[in-house]
Structure 1
C-alpha cells in the first residue's frame, strides 16, 4: 500500500508540475539539456527493486560526479567520482563497495558529452501528451543495463529515471525541482567521507 500510495503521489506531483501545452522533445533537445546541466541539487525519492522507499538530496556535478545523500533512518551514501561509484554504509562501517561508473546506465547522464542521437544509444522514444520518455543504453556495453528517463517541456526538466541493471532489477528515482547552483567539489571527496566515518 505504501508503494502504491507513493507512486500515485509521484504521478500527481509530476502532472501538476507540467506545463499546459507540453510538446514532444527531440533527442537533440534532451542531449542539449543534459549537457547544459553542469551543477545542481534537489530532493529525490527512490523506489528500490524490493519496494522499499528512500528519500534524500541529490547533488550533480557533470561530468562524472553525483552524490545521493539519504535521509534518516537510511545511513548509506552513494557517490560517483573519478570514474567510480562508491557505496558507503555509515552504520556498518567497513570497506566501501566500489565499481566502475561505466558499468552503470547512470554514466549516460554524467558523460562529458551526452549524445543520445548516436547509433544504438536510444532503444525507445515515446510521448504521452505530458512528458517525453527516453530509454537508452550504452551501445558498447548493453549488458550493463538501461536507463529510462522522463522529461517535461517548457523549460526542459529531468523528472524521473528508472535504472534496469544487468540482473533486471529496477530502481526508480523521482526528482524534485533541480536547483542549478554551484555544488562544492568537496561533496564528492570519497577519501574525506571515509575519514569522517573513522575508516
Structure 2
C-alpha cells in the first residue's frame, strides 16, 4: 500500500454496506449521546479491516488512546504502521529508507473523534445524521477546516458502539475502516503512540 493510500486511511471515507449487529428498529442516537460515548471512550483495542479506494483490502490491529492518539498495525504482507500522537500523524512504510511520512493530525478528519472534548452539536460540524432502524450514521467535518475532508461514522445502540467510519480526504479519496470486536478500557502504554520511539524500532 502506498503512502498516499495509508494517508487516505486516516483522511478518507468508507463505502461498504454491512450487516451490523443491533436491535431491529433501534432508536436513532442523538448527537449528544454519540458525543458522550466518544468522550467516555478513553482506551480501546481491536481488529480492523480496511477497504482502500482502489478496492484492495488490508487488516490489522488498532489501538486508541484518547485524546489525540491512535495506532494502526497492518498485518503481513504489508507490515506497515500508522501512528497519531503528539499532534502529528506518521506513516511508516517498510519499503522506504527515508523515514516516516508526517503531517499534522488536525489535517485529518479522525481528529474530530480523537479530540479532547467531542461536541457533535457544534455549529456546522455535522453535515449528515440518519438512521436505518438498526444503525445511526453521522457525517462530520471540522467546521473551521472543511477543506480537510469529512468522517462518516456508523454506530449501533444498546449499548452505543462505533462499528465503522468513512473518511473522505481533501482529494475525494475514500477508505473504509471496519472495526472488529472493539474492546473498550484497559491500560495502553504511551510508548505505542510515540512516533520518535517507533522511528528507532520500526523494521528492526
With normalisation by structure 1, the TM-score equals 0.90
Gaps of 5+ in 1: 1-6
With normalisation by structure 2, the TM-score equals 0.88
The answer to whether the 8 A contact 1:75-1:91 is kept is no
For 2:200, the equivalent position in structure 1 comes to 195
For 2:71, the equivalent position in structure 1 comes to 67
Greater shift, 179-188 or 61-70, is seen at: 179-188
Residue 32 of structure 1 aligns to a residue whose secondary structure is: helix
For 1:153, the equivalent position in structure 2 comes to 157
State which of 121, 124, 127 in structure 1 corresponds to 2:128: 124
- Which structure 2 residues correspond to residues 157-168 of structure 1 after superposition, within 5 A? 157-168=161-172
Structure 1 residue 76 and structure 2 residue 80: aligned?
yes
For 1:3, the equivalent position in structure 2 comes to none
More relative contact order in 1 or in 2 (CA 8 Å, sep 6+)?
Answer: 2
For 1:100, the equivalent position in structure 2 comes to 104
Structure 1 residue 34 and structure 2 residue 38: aligned?
yes
Tell me how many residue pairs correspond in the alignment.
Answer: 189
Q: More helix by proportion, 1 or 2? A: 1
Alignment RMSD, CA only?
1.6
For 1:11, the equivalent position in structure 2 comes to 18
For 1:141, the equivalent position in structure 2 comes to 145
The answer to whether the 8 A contact 1:42-1:58 is kept is yes
Residue 118 of structure 1 aligns to a residue whose secondary structure is: coil
- Which structure 2 residues correspond to residues 85-96 of structure 1 after superposition, within 5 A? 85-96=89-100
Deviation at 1:191, TM superposition (A): 1.4
User: 1:109-138 deviations in whole A, cap 9, x for unaligned?
Assistant: 100000000000000100001000000000
Residue 193 of structure 1 aligns to a residue whose secondary structure is: helix
Residue 167 of structure 1 aligns to a residue whose secondary structure is: coil
Structure 1 residue 115 and structure 2 residue 122: aligned?
no
Greater shift, 134-143 or 19-28, is seen at: 19-28
State which of 24, 33, 47 in structure 1 corresponds to 2:28: 24
Gaps of 5+ in 2: 1-14
